[in-house]
Amino acid sequence: MRCNRNRNPHGTPDAARFSRRSALALLTLPAVLPSALAAATSLLSRSAVAQETPTPSGVAVPPADVDATPYPNYIEEPAVRGTVRCVGSSAVGLLINAIRPGFTESQPDIAVEMISSGSSSGPKALADGTCDLAPMSRDMRASEIEAIEKARGDTVDAIDIAVDAIAIGVHVKNPLTRITLRDLDRVFGRERRRGGAPAVKWSDLGVTDAPIADRSITLFGMGAGTGSNGIVQEIVLQGGPFRTSVNEEPVSSSVVQAVATDASAIGYCSVLFESVRVRNLEIESLDGSGFVAPTDAHIRAGRYPLARTLRLYYLRGALAKSPAVRKFLQFLVSQDGQEAIEDMRQKTLTPASARMMFDKLGADRTK
C-alpha cells in the first residue's frame, strides 16, 4: 500500500482517487483558472469531513474548519533511523500494521514493531520501558498514568489518530435488527443495573422465529482491560460487572469469527472488524431519540452511544529524545497517514484535529 501517493507536486494525480492534497494544491493556482478552482473547491468540500470528531476526555479537539485548515503535510527525513516499539490495543494495532508499509517507504531506516495484546498491556509496557508508544482504544486511567510517571520520572501525553466505535453483532440468520441499552444490560450484565430480568434465551428479547427463539444466547466479548470491554461496561452496564458466561476473546477478529459461526451468538468488538455472516445491530441512543446504526455519520455526529477515540500514549521526555518515534507519530496524523486510515474504512480525524495533534508533536520543524 502506498500512502504517500501524491508526494510530487508536479506529478499527475491518480484519476481514480483525487486526494485532498491534490485538491488543495489546485486552490493555489492563479485566479485565471476559475473553472479548475471551482472544480477543486467542489471536490474538496465533498471529500473532507465536515463534522467534528467526538471529543475524548483529556484531549481537547478544536471545531472542524476544513476550508481553512488542511491536513498537515509529512516531510521525510532520510537521516532519521531507529525502532518504534508499540504495545497495546488490537484495534489501533490493526491501523498501525496497515500504515507501516507506507511509512517505511518514506523512512526506510525506521522500523515499527507492534504487539497487539489489548489496551491494558500498553500502560504496563510504557511503565517498564518495553515500548515507546502505548496504542489504546480507551482513556488511560489516572492510576495507570500515576504508575507510569512514578516508574519513569516522565510525563505521560497522548495524540489521537482516528475515531472508532464498538459494534454489537449477531449472526445474519438472527432476525433481531435493533436492541435497547436495557436489553443489552440484561444480556451481558450480571447486576442488570438498568433493570429487568436476565435475558438468557432469544425469546427473552422478543425473537419469535424458530429455531433461534428457543435457543440460549451465546455471549462473546473482549477481555478485561481492553478498550472494547471498558466502553461496554461503562455505557451499557453502567459500571456493573459482566456475566461470567461471556466468552472472552483476545482480539476483535476472534469475536467476529465466533459470532459468524454460531447462529445463537451475540458479541461486541470494534466496528472495523466485520463479516458477511454478522449483522451489526442498531442501538438505542443515549438521549432516547431512537435507534442508531454504527455508521460513519452517526459516529462522527456523536449519536452512536458506543463511539470512542483511538490514540497513542507516550512519554514527553522520551519523545524529545527519539526522532524516530516523533516522525512516526507525525506521519499518522499527516495527510498521508490519515488517507491510509481512511483506506482502511476507519473514521479519520478532522483536518483541524489532525493539525492540532501534528503541532503538538513539535511539527514546526518539518512544516
Radius of gyration of the chain (CA): 22
Q: Tell me which residue of 161, 163, 172, 164 sits closest to 71, measured CA to CA.
A: 161
The predicted-structure confidence for 25-78, as pLDDT tens digits, reads as follows 333 333 333 333 333 333 333 333 333 333 433 444 444 444 457 999 999 999
Q: Do domains 82-162+309-366 and 165-307 have the same CATH topology?
A: yes
CATH topology of domain 165-307: D-Maltodextrin-Binding Protein; domain 2 (3.40.190)
For the stretch 97-106, pLDDT in tens is 999 999 999 9
Domain ranges for the chain, please list them.
14-47, 82-162+309-366, 165-307
Sites in the chain below the pLDDT cut of 50: 1-67, 363-367
- In this prediction, residue 24 carries a pLDDT of 32
Amino acid 224: pLDDT: 85
pLDDT in tens, 266-300: 999 999 888 999 999 999 999 888 999 999 889 87
Taking the C-alpha atoms of residue 81 and residue 197, their distance in angstroms, rounded to an integer, is 58
pTM comes to 0.70
pLDDT of amino acid 68: 57
CATH architecture of 82-162+309-366: 3-Layer(aba) Sandwich (3.40)
User: In angstroms, rounded to a whole number, what is the distance separating the alpha carbons of residues 91 and 228?
Assistant: 9
Q: How far apart are CA 280 and CA 286, in angstroms?
A: 18
Exposed, middle or buried, 15 (CB in 10 Å: 0-12/13-18/19+)?
A: exposed
